[in-house]
């Protein structure tokens, strides 16, 4: 692999790391916890919508974790002799 390709991969990994770090910030979640307790905050249909969005965020977070784990596992195997179809 060319040096510039390695540098580009390093940049992408750092960008992914920063994005994950931003996702893991608790400030907005803590604010949301405060907001939902405000009197008259929302209607039942809006609460359902918010619940579905939160469910989706949880699902996508689990998918990101699985993708990252799979990526690392596969990257560790690159360059090693692996029997295909065995």
Q: What is the secondary structure of 6-46 as a DSSP string?
A: HHHHHHHHHHHHHHHHHHT--HHHHHHHHHTTSTT---HHH
Q: Which domain holds residue 48?
A: 42-75
pLDDT of 82: 61
pTM greater than 0.75 (yes/no)? yes
CB count within 10 Å of CB 16 equals: 13
* Domains: count for the chain: 1
pLDDT of 83: 60
pLDDT of 21: 87
pLDDT of 40: 92
Residues 6+ apart with CB under 8 A from 61: 23
The CA distance from 62 to 23, in Å, is 12
Give pLDDT < 50 ranges for the chain: none
CA 2 to chain centre: 29
């Amino acid at each position: 692999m060319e040096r510039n390709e390695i540098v580009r991969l390093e940049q992408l990994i750092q960008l992914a790391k920063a994005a994950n770090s931003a996702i893991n910030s608790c400030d907005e979640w803590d604010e949301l916890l405060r907001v939902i307790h405000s009197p008259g905050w929302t209607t039942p249909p809006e609460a359902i919508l918010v619940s579905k969005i939160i469910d989706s965020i949880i699902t996508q977070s689990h998918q990101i974790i699985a993708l990252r784990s799979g990526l690392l596992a596969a990257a560790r195997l690159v360059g090693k002799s692996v029997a295909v179809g065995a």
